[in-house]
Amino acid sequence: TYLDNGKLVNWDGKMDEVHSTISTSSEYKPTLLGTVPHMDEPTALGVLNSAVNAYDKGKGDWPTMRVKERIDCMKSFVKHMQTKRTEVVKLLMWEIGKTLPDSEKEFDRTVQYIYDTIDDYKQLDRDSAKFEKIDGINAHIRRGPLGVVLCLGPYNYPLNETFALLIPALMMGNTAVFKPAKHGVLLLSPLLEAFQKSFPAGVINVIYGRGREVAAPIMKTGKIDVLALIGNSTSAIALQDQHPYKNRLRLILGLEAKNPAIILPDADLDLAIEECINGSLSYNGQRCTALKIIYVHDKIKEEFNERFSKRVDELKFGQPWEEGVKLTPLPEPNKPAYIKELIDDAKEKGAKILNKKGGTVTDNYIYPAVLYPVNESMRVYQEEQFGPVVPIKSFNDTQELLDEMARSNYGQQVSLFGKNVDTLAPLIDVLVNLVCRVNLNSSCQRGPDVLPFTGRKDSAVGTLSVHDALRSFSIRTFLASKDN
Which residue, 289 or 472, is less far from ligand G3H as judged by CB? 289
Residue of the chain from 58, 101, 426, 447 that contacts ligand G3H (CB under 6 A): 447
The CA angle 367-369-371, to the nearest 5 degrees, is 175
Could you tell me the smallest distance in angstroms from the CB atom of residue 136 to ligand G3H? 46
Distance CA(341)–CA(366), nearest Å, equals: 12
Residue 415, strand partner residues? 261, 439
Cα→Cα distances 195→124, 147, 182, 392, Å = 24, 19, 20, 45
Which residue, 49 or 465, is less far from ligand G3H as judged by CB? 465
Q: At what angle do helices 85-96 and 100-128 cross, to 10 degrees?
A: 120
Could you tell me the smallest distance in angstroms from the CB atom of residue 76 to ligand G3H? 27
- 3-class DSSP state of 34: strand
| Phi, psi values for residue 394, rounded to 5° | -100, 160
Which residue, 39 or 414, is less far from ligand G3H as judged by CB? 414
- The answer to whether 411 and 436 are in contact (CB under 8 A) is yes
- Per DSSP bridges, beta strands 365-366 and 361-362 are antiparallel
In 221-370, which residue ranges form alpha helices assigned H by DSSP?
233-242, 269-281, 301-314, 335-348
For residue 484, count other CB atoms closer than 10 A to its CB. Answer: 4
Which residue, 269 or 325, is less far from ligand G3H as judged by CB? 325
Cα→Cα distances 189→1, 179, 204, 443, Å = 8, 12, 14, 34
The CA angle 12-14-15, to the nearest 5 degrees, is 95
Distance CA(461)–CA(435), nearest Å, equals: 13
Residue of the chain from 43, 156, 175, 196 that contacts ligand G3H (CB under 6 A): 156
- 287: contact with ligand G3H by CB under 6 A: yes
Could you tell me the smallest distance in angstroms from the CB atom of residue 71 to ligand G3H? 26
In this chain, which stretch among 282-290, 391-399, 422-430, 454-462 interacts with ligand G3H, using CB under 6 A? 282-290
Could you tell me the smallest distance in angstroms from the CB atom of residue 392 to ligand G3H? 21
Residue of the chain from 174, 205, 289, 355 that contacts ligand G3H (CB under 6 A): 289
Residue type, 70: R
Could you tell me the smallest distance in angstroms from the CB atom of residue 117 to ligand G3H? 16
From residue 161 to residue 190, the character string flagging contacts with ligand G3H as x (rule: CB under 6 A) and all else as - is x-----------------------------
Q: Which H or E element spans position 198? A: helix 189-198
The CA angle 359-360-363, to the nearest 5 degrees, is 120
Window 416 to 445, contacts with ligand G3H (CB under 6 A): 445
Could you tell me the smallest distance in angstroms from the CB atom of residue 287 to ligand G3H? 4
Could you tell me the smallest distance in angstroms from the CB atom of residue 444 to ligand G3H? 7
Distance CA(56)–CA(285), nearest Å, equals: 42
- 412: contact with ligand G3H by CB under 6 A: no
DSSP 441: T
In this chain, which stretch among 186-194, 268-276, 281-289, 469-477 interacts with ligand G3H, using CB under 6 A? 281-289
- 288: contact with ligand G3H by CB under 6 A: yes
Window 343 to 372, contacts with ligand G3H (CB under 6 A): none
- The answer to whether 288 and 282 are in contact (CB under 8 A) is no
For residue 50, count other CB atoms closer than 10 A to its CB. Answer: 21
Window 22 to 81, contacts with ligand G3H (CB under 6 A): none
Q: How many residues bind ligand G3H (CB under 6 A)?
A: 9
Residue of the chain from 113, 157, 178, 195 that contacts ligand G3H (CB under 6 A): 157
Could you tell me the smallest distance in angstroms from the CB atom of residue 251 to ligand G3H? 17
Could you tell me the smallest distance in angstroms from the CB atom of residue 181 to ligand G3H? 12
Which residue, 209 or 279, is less far from ligand G3H as judged by CB? 279
Which residue, 15 or 451, is less far from ligand G3H as judged by CB? 451
- Residue 5: is it exposed, middle or buried by C-beta count within 10 angstroms (0-12/13-18/19+)? middle
Which residue, 40 or 104, is less far from ligand G3H as judged by CB? 104
Residue nearest to ligand G3H (CB): 288
Residue type, 164: A
Distance CA(37)–CA(139), nearest Å, equals: 49
Could you tell me the smallest distance in angstroms from the CB atom of residue 467 to ligand G3H? 16
Q: Which residues bind ligand G3H (CB under 6 A)?
A: 156-157, 161, 287-289, 445-447
